[in-house]
Every structure is written in C-alpha cells, then in structure tokens.
C-alpha cells in the first residue's frame, strides 16, 4: 500500500487566514490527479487546491468557513496503487529510450531527474536549482507525488466588471449545464454565485419563469457616460416602435450570421415602361413605383430558389419550406420602421400590388396596421431608392432567412460590345443567413432577380 500523503495549501502569495468557501470532496471520496478539493477566496482572488495525484481521501481536515494559510494540511490522501507502481517503474516504460550500456541503470541521481519537483522550490533562486531539487526529493514521499499549484482566477487575471463572481468549480458546473453565469443572480457572500443558484436558474428556465438565452454573441454593455459634462443635452424617449424594433434588430444581428451579396440590374426598359404607364395608374387610383416590379421579381426568384422561402425550425436542424409567397415591405414612419406584409403576392398583378401597397403604407404611417398585417412574411424588401445610396446591408427579419435591399438607380456608361451606352442601373443587396444559404446560391438568386427585372417580357400591369 502506498504511503499516505498530506495535501497542504500551496504557495498563495502573501495571504494568510484565507477563508474556505467551498469543500468539494468528503472523506472516502476517490479523486483524480488535479481534481479540486477545496476553494479558497482572498480579497483579490479565488483559488482551488487540487489533489496532487489520484487516490482516496482518507481524512479531511478543513470545513466550510475555516481559514487556512500556506502549508496548512487540508486533507490526507492515500494514493492509488497504480500511481505507486508507475513511480517505481519510472524509466522502464515502453515510451522510454533504451539506455546505453555504460549509463547508470537506476541510481538515486538518475531517478531524481525524472521526479516532479515541488512547485514552491521552483519559485526560489534559479541559481540554486540543483540544490532546491535535492531538498525537494528529500522532503517528498517516495511515491513521487507532487503538490499541484493552486488554480487561480480573479481580479489580477480577469475583468471583474464582466466576469460573473463564481468559483472555477461552479463555472465548470454551469458549463456542463449550458448555463450563462452572467444571467444568474448570486446569493452567496458578496453576491457570489453558488451551486444552488445555478440549479435554481435551470429550474426557472425549465418552468418558463425565466427566458432561455438565445444563441449568439455575448455583448458587453455600453459604457455609462454623462454627456452633459461635454455640453448641452436633451433627453428624448424612444417611441414604442423604436423600442420594439431595436430589440428585434439587435437579436437578429447577433444571432444570424449575415452575409450581403451585391449586384446591379439594368432597369432602363423597366423605368421607361413605368413612366409610360404612370398616368394610367394615377387615373385608377394608385402610384406605379419600381417596388411593385421588385415584388414580382422576388416571387419569381423565390420559386426558382425555394431555400430562400424557408425558415429554420426551433431546433435549428430542419428547414420549414413555405409554399406561399408573403412579402414584407419596410415602411419608414415618423415613429420608426415597420414591415407590413403583402400576402399571396404570386396571385396578384403589379396593379393590384400597387393599390395594396398604397393602402398598407398609409396605415403604417398612421399607426393603424392590424397584428395580422405584420405577420407571416416569407421574405422582406427594404427600398432606399427614393432617398439615395449605392448599397447597404439590410438586417434579416427573422425567422426569414434573407432580405433584399434596394438603393438608388443611376445612369452609368455600359459597354455593349461596340460602344458605351447610358443605362439606368439599380443596386441590389441581398443579405442572407449563411447557416441556410451558401454564397454561390445567393449570387445566383441575386443575378436571377436582376435578369428578371431586365426582361421586357415581364413588364405588364
């Protein structure tokens, strides 16, 4: 049987009488090498005292809230028999290179070079390394055990303003359960997060009383700044739409891997057709804009590329393929951005879409849209063509997987093989969810859109 080993508090710096805030094992427990036994907490750091080797805890000499200092015995370990055997066989394993015939076969000087050295001895004067090593061998048990250094986390290595206040053992426990500790309220001393706090949080999420965290990036809070010290300020409350849309846009931006593909559509003929029929449309009570042709082109593209007319299910492992074509249109209102949905766009003519677009846009600006008119979209279009710009990255309106952004058309010289011709080019920007759509598919989708808009055969009311 291997000789029992006293596990002592290693070098913890200048701290004394450090409180024991967690006892992670009991007498009789079997432990692995480097498994944490107790957790200490000083004013500046949290430290775990690990086991130097595998074995059984035969005696535990500290309790919760005790105070300890460097060198105090916290537990007595009976090393595993295998550990002793491994120590006796050092230098004879399969992985050891063969010794030359004239080398010593196993004297004390040789074996000392292979034994792990005491961590504290290593911290002393480097010029006396050999002497320190010898002293460590003399004081260490014959089993070749080592005293592991404490595992430290604290203000000296992390930013306490961002790191939840919890011991490494609790962090490990939280990771196993998939819990974000920044969302857990600690009930321990100085608001420390305890095991019971993590367990209570998991139960609250399972019961629905606490919202589960959405997958995505952990975003640091914005800095708190007193802007009045730089000059005169005025405080304005966000509108209800601003408050709602800001949360939704932030969620969509950080949880969806966005990529934006840009292309140009030659809309010279489309614009000529629109102008030629503008008066006729006005007589029938609607305004003929490029947007209605974009809606029809989008429906055609969704039919050609059905993956763009889909949504990820809640588990993120299946696509819900939609057989309907409801298009959301971003509308700029005095209170903020809203996206009413035009339903069954595949079954409506450009004239019908134009009339409906006038109606929903007016309701959006007056704040009279019904909840149904804001739901069920498959794909959204955000057009800034009436304002300006050359391109932008629209944010996907989850649970949709793509969105089309349209910037202002402009005349540019285009080479037709013989000469440069002035052509009206419309910038198209398609943002897509890279979990669902590949770059090549996005390029084909956007090019299909452009070619559909360029085809005069699709110009009808």
User: Which candidate in 250, 258, 326, 434 is catalytic?
Assistant: 434
Q: How far, in Å, CA of 390 to CA of 309, rounded?
A: 26
Segment (H or E) for 276: helix 268-276
Counting Cα atoms < 13 Å in the Cβ hemisphere of 399 gives 14
Q: What is the dihedral of CA 353, 359, 363, 365, to 10 degrees?
A: 80
**282 to each of 25, 206, 207, 289, how far by Cα in Å?**
82, 57, 57, 11
CB atoms within 10 A of CB 186: 17
Task: Give yes or no: 434 in active site.
Answer: yes
One-letter-per-residue 3-state SS of 222-270 = CCCCCHHHCCCCCCCCCCHHHHHHHHHHHHHHHHCCEEEEEEEEECHHH
Q: How far, in Å, CA of 225 to CA of 159, rounded?
A: 19
Q: How far, in Å, CA of 404 to CA of 69, rounded?
A: 65
Segment (H or E) for 5: strand 5-8
**37: nearest Cα among 24, 21, 27:** 24
Residues annotated as catalytic are 434
């Amino acid at each position: 049987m291997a000789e029992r080993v006293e596990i002592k508090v290693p070098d913890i710096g200048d701290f004394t009488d450090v409180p024991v805030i967690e006892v992670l094992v009991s007498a009789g427990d079997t432990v692995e090498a480097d498994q944490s036994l107790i957790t200490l907490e000083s004013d500046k750091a949290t430290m775990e005292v690990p086991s130097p080797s595998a074995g059984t805890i035969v005696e535990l000499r500290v309790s919760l809230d005790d105070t300890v200092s460097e060198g105090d015995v916290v537990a007595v370990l009976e090393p595993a028999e295998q550990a002793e055997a491994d120590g006796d066989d050092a230098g004879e394993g399969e992985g050891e290179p063969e010794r030359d015939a004239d080398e010593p076969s196993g004297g004390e000087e040789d074996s000392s070079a292979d034994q792990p050295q005491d961590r504290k001895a290593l911290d002393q004067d480097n010029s006396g390394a050999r002497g320190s090593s010898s002293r460590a061998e003399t004081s260490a048990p014959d089993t070749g055990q080592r005293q592991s250094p404490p595992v430290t986390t604290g203000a000296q290595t992390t930013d306490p303003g961002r790191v939840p206040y919890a011991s490494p053992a609790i962090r490990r426990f939280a990771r196993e359960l998939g819990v974000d500790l920044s969302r857990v309220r600690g009930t321990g001393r100085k608001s420390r997060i305890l095991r019971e706090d993590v367990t209570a949080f998991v139960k609250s999420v399972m019961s629905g009383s606490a919202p589960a965290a959405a997958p995505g990036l952990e975003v640091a809070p914005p800095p708190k700044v007193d802007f009045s010290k730089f000059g005169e300020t005025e405080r304005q409350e966000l509108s209800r739409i601003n408050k709602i849309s800001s949360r939704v846009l932030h969620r969509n931006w950080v949880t969806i891997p966005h990529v934006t593909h840009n292309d140009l559509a030659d809309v010279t003929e489309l614009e000529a057709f629109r102008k030629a029929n503008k008066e006729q449309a006005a007589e029938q009570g609607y305004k003929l804009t490029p947007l209605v042709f974009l809606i029809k082109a989008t429906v055609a593209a969704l039919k050609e590329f059905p993956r763009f007319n889909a949504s990820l299910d809640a588990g993120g492992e299946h696509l819900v393929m939609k057989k309907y074509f409801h298009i959301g249109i971003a509308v700029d209102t005095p209170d903020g951005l809203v996206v009413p949905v035009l339903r069954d766009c595949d079954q409506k003519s450009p004239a019908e879409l134009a009339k409906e677009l006038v109606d929903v846009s007016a309701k959006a600006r007056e704040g009279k849209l019904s909840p149904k008119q804001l739901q069920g979209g498959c794909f959204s279009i955000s057009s800034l063509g009436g304002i300006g710009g050359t391109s932008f990255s629209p944010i996907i309106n989850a649970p949709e997987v793509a969105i089309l952004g349209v910037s202002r058309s402009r005349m540019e010289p285009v080479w037709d093989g013989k000469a440069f011709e002035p052509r009206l080019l419309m910038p198209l920007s398609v943002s897509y969810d890279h979990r669902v759509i590949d770059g090549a598919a996005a390029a084909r989708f956007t090019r299909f859109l452009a070619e559909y808009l360029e085809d005069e055969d699709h110009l009808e009311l």
